[in-house]
Amino acid sequence: MHPLPVYFPVFYPGIEVAAGDTIEAVCSARLSEDQLNPDYHIRGYLLKQSGERLEFEYDSFLYKTPSKSNLFYDRLFAQEVVLNEQPTPVELCDKSLSAYLKERLPAYMLPGGLENKWQIY
């Protein structure tokens, strides 16, 4: 038995909910194409206090492409990422690394000293 994934983007970009709103859902899993790992399916509805009922259905496939588009994933994968075969080395010095860390970390997390022993890619 596999745990159900925590997040399915069934209400993208999101729906405001309030105390008393409820979700009724049925979740299921079946073996994916590799016959080892599961594909997931969820179907249900959000029942708002106002009586409004918002139905949803979502498939989470391990290998297959869903039959209908999902705006969450369309935006997530909108730009194709191409990795270089050979990464370009980055020259770092203690000063530039210290400045970078100071911009991003609180003072108590800053290292007391730095050693430049490795080439960073």
Interval 32-61: pLDDT, tens: 999 999 998 999 999 999 999 999 999 888
Residue-level pLDDT at 115? 66
Neighbours of 42 (CB within 10 A): 19
What is the tally of structural domains in the chain?
1
Residue-level pLDDT at 120? 54
* Structural domain contains residue 47: yes
Of 19-23, 25-29, 90-94, the range with the lowest mean pLDDT is 90-94
* Structural domain contains residue 109: no
Statement: the pTM of the whole predicted model exceeds 0.75: no
Question: Under 8 Å CB-to-CB from 69, ≥6 apart: which residues?
Answer: none
* Structural domain contains residue 119: no
The residue with tokens 């959000």 is 46
The residue range of the domain holding 58 is 22-76
Whether a cis peptide bond, with omega within 30° of 0, leads into 66 is: no
